[in-house]
Amino acid sequence: MKIQRLLKDIGFDPTLIRRVAVCAYESEMNVVMYGGEGKILLEVSAEKISVITDDDGPGIEDIEKALQEGYSTAPPEYREMGFGAGMGLPNIKKNADLFEIRSGKGDGTTLVMSFEVRQ
């Protein structure tokens, strides 16, 4: 994963890199499974790392429900591959210091995940 490699090359703490990588992976899989066209943006400073994913998919009708562990709308073909356990958004929320989600039915989804760099 390019994000993980880049953060390692910069010299960030391995625990922080793991948290960022988990969130980047989970959000990337959501774009692949639901999002249609999407993009991932990485912003890095000495104080904060942010990962922003944005897609033009069908959006999330009920964000509160989607944040519950175990809730999934993944189709059977993804479940057969081991995805769709309903842990993606909860894992992101658990690992990010700041997590924002903007979405609505037919509006696509934007996730903003920020991580404090502690020295």
Q: Which residues pair with 112 in a beta bridge?
A: 52, 100
Nearest by Cα to 113 from 59, 68, 52, 25: 52
Reported as a single tens digit per residue, the pLDDT across 40-58 is: 999 999 999 999 999 999 9
What letter would DSSP give residue 46? S
Amino acid letter for position 73? T
Is the backbone of residue 36 left (phi > 0), alpha (psi -120 to 50) or beta?
Answer: left
Q: Look up the pTM and report it.
A: 0.90
| pLDDT exceeds cutoff 90 at 36 | no
**Quick one: pLDDT at residue 57?**
92
pLDDT at 42: 97
